[in-house]
Chain A
Amino acid sequence: GESVGLHLPTLSVQEGDNSIINCAYSNSASDYFIWYKQESGKGPQFIIDIRSNMDKRQGQRVTVLLNKTVKHLSLQIAATQPGDSAVYFCARDSGTYKYIFGTGTRLKVLA
Chain B
Amino acid sequence: KAGVTQTPRYLIKTRGQQVTLSCSPISGHRSVSWYQQTPGQGLQFLFEYFSETQRNKGNFPGRFSGRQFSNSRSEMNVSTLELGDSALYLCASSLDPAGVADTQYFGPGTRLTVL
Query: Are B109 and A43 in contact (CB-based, < 8 A)?
Result: yes
Chain B: residues with Cβ within 8 Å of the partner, total of 25
Residue of B nearest to A96 (CB): B56
Contact call B109/A97, Cβ cutoff below 8 A: no
| Residues from chain B with Cβ under 8 Å of A46 in the complex | 103-106
* A98 close to B48 (CB less than 8 A): yes
| Interchain CB contact under 8 A, A89 and B45 | no
Q: How large is the interface on A (under 10, 10 to 19, 20 to 34, 35 or more residues)?
A: 20 to 34
1/0 per residue, CB under 8 A from A, across B1-44: the answer is 00010000000000000000000000000010101000000111
Flag if A97 contacts B43 (CB, 8 Å).
no
CB-based contact B106/A98 at 8 Å: no
B residues in contact (CB < 8 Å) with A: 4, 31, 33, 35, 42-45, 48, 50, 55-56, 58, 90, 92, 99, 101-109
